[in-house]
Amino acid sequence: MRKIDQGLPMARSPNRVPPLREVLMEDDATGPEKSIFEPERSGDFMDQVAQVQFEPLAPIQNRELLPFPVDALGSVAATAIAAIAEWSQTPTDLPGCLALGAMAGAIARRVVVEVNHREEISLYIAVVMPPGSRKSGVFSEIMKPIFERERALVEIASPERARNRSAVALAAKSIKAFERILANPNTNDNARALANAQWEKAVEELRIAERKPTTDPQLITSDATPEKLAIIAKDNQERLILGSGEGSQIFDRLSRYSKNSESNCDLLLSAHDGEWCRVDRVVRESVILERPVFTINATIQPGVLKKLGGNQEFTERGLIARLAFSMPRDLRGTRDVFEERQKPMNALASWRSLMDRILRVHSDSDRPLILSVDRDALAVFKLFAHDMEVGQRQGGAYESMEGWAAKAAGLVLRIAGVLAVAWCPGDPRITPEVMAHAVDLGRYFADHAVQAHDFIDGRTGDREIDRIWGWVKKSTSRSAPTADFTRQELWQAMKGPRSIFQRASQMDAALRRIEAAGRIAKRDLPAPESGGRPPSVWAVNPEALRHEPPDV
């Protein structure tokens, strides 16, 4: 006897899923093969096969993404994040990611992490949430210490910068006056020579005056052209936060103010790694930045994410690969609109105190504070880096976003630098505990980056579901009243050394989710008369096949 649950004969093509009648056959030792559908078999067998109940068709439930590791940011920040999330009825991912970005922006360019190379503390964070998710209110509370610090700096530096602006205006006015003298044909030789000398002196004075900061101190901006960003950064120690509760304008500006019909993202690419950059201006001389370090700390809507992913230059030049995505749960429709929740004043006060301390870290030095990585911390880091490297292989977890995965190790080092300053002020080492928390955040961002890239590419957001359901649609006929496949056939198609399915149980879990969405249903079959387990056969809902294209 051939055991039914051993699957199909080896001669059968693996690309063809036969109907159930063809699968459930037994060999007869004394005669030809007989189908178990033949009438002489048990009386109610046909009824059991025919009765297939599908769940109502519904969207396939996406996998649960990793939750934001709140405790990684330290007790003070964690308490504030939890309190803000409860008060605003938002997922902790929102205040958590924004808090991480705020801390990174506070120490950008002042602190670097050194292993066998240097990593700037530059994080580009994008929290993706739909309209009406209360993004702006949470952003304002998290970033309030930054705004307050900026106002204080303006009060201190405003008189000096006003004098610098006057010097620029005076030099420019002098240049025009001497140019008029030189242009006058009635000017005699002595006057012309004197005017020319004065003109050269005024030009030099203008160059010197323009090198001094003329704008008020600015730590954060949300709406500026690349040229304006360069000017602001030049006047503010080459460090700047691009932040907004509705961050679409940050990226719109890059697309709108372009050169040669291409998005002008050069400055953001350079400012992520502290690389030398020149921003050319049409009228005045170019702005040269020696070591710009920017932070992006923004929330965007899903449509903006789709638009970003569709920008070929953003993708090909690596801007998308530099973004740390967060894809929080959508709580709309579940929030309590009747309960009036009090703003957590104590937690917010503690958060402001923490940020005030971080904002002052190494602020009185022109040279950055260098954080070294402890030997044991380096071992923790290398395990994460290895996972990211292996995941870029064909069939790996990060195959579809290898550009992002290639930069994930650097992201973790930068996060570790932020946590070291928040957890252990004054200690120039990154400890194993700090690195472990940084790795937790790195795995969080990697998991959410997979979801973000799936969304950009139009996938369901779950590679296991995509793989199985794509195979089912390609392998079954929509013209038949029902289509069937066996578990073993599916496993033969799914398994492999580079497959995303390393265990059959992993495949079974995905099958149950597809079944819950009404796409398939497991047939309730009796055990064969020869003994053994009943075959694992799944019926495919013809309605699901008719309403979806054959390819994922």
For residue 11, name the pLDDT band (cuts at 50, 70, 90).
Answer: very low
89, pLDDT greater than 90:
yes
pLDDT score at 477: 58
Residue that has been written with the tokens 């006060």 in this structure:
349
Residues 242-268 have a mean pLDDT of 74
Packed helices 504-516 and 487-494: angle between N→C axes, nearest 10 degrees: 120
Which DSSP category does 39 fall into?
A: T
Check residue 64 and give its pLDDT. Answer: 81
Q: Kind of pairing, strands 239-244 and 220-221?
A: parallel
Q: Which residue carries 């079959």 as its tokens?
A: 525
- pLDDT digit string (tens) for 393-444? 877 889 889 999 999 999 999 999 999 999 887 789 999 999 999 999 999 9
Does 3 score more than 60 pLDDT? no
- The stretch 512-536 carries a mean pLDDT of 83
pLDDT greater than 50 at residue 2: no
At 59, the pLDDT band (50, 70, 90 cuts) reads low
Q: How far apart are the first and last CA of the chain?
A: 39
Integer CA distances (angstroms), 414 to 198, 247, 346, 454, 519, in order = 51, 22, 29, 25, 44
Q: From CA 485, how far away is CA 483, in angstroms rounded?
A: 7
Closest CA to 256 of 224, 210, 216, 284: 224
Q: Over 60: is that where the pLDDT of 87 sits?
A: yes
- Residues facing 127 on adjacent strands: 299, 326
Mean pLDDT (the chain, rounded): 84
- Please identify which residue in the block is written with the tokens 């903006």: 304
Task: Report the DSSP pairing between strands 111-114 and 118-120.
Answer: antiparallel
How does pLDDT run across 173-212, given as a tens digit for each residue? 999 999 999 999 998 989 999 999 999 999 998 888 877 8
When pLDDT is averaged across residues 288-308 and rounded to a whole number, the result is 93
Q: How sure is the predictor about 12, in pLDDT bands with cuts at 50, 70 and 90?
A: very low
509 or 202, higher pLDDT:
202
Which three-class secondary structure state does DSSP give residue 486? strand
| Confidence check: pLDDT of 552 > 50 | no
Banded model confidence at residue 164, pLDDT cuts 50, 70, 90: confident
Give 502 or 429, the one with higher predicted confidence: 429
Using pLDDT thresholds of 50, 70 and 90, give the confidence band for residue 482.
Answer: low
pLDDT over threshold 70, residue 134: yes
HEC string of 407-450 equals HHHHHHHHHHHHHHHHHCCCCCEECHHHHHHHHHHHHHHHHHHH
- Give 119's strand partners: 113
Mean pLDDT over 470-487 rounds to 74
Whether the CB-CB separation of 552 and 466 falls below 8 Å is answered with yes
Is the pLDDT higher at 348 or at 548? 348
pLDDT score of 508: 85
- What is the rounded average pLDDT of the residues 117-140? 95
Q: What are the Cα distances from residue 114, in Å, to 307, 336, 428, 544? A: 35, 47, 11, 54
Backbone angles phi, psi at 275, to 5 degrees: -95, 150
Q: What is the pLDDT of residue 15?
A: 37
The two beta strands, 124-128 and 323-326, are parallel
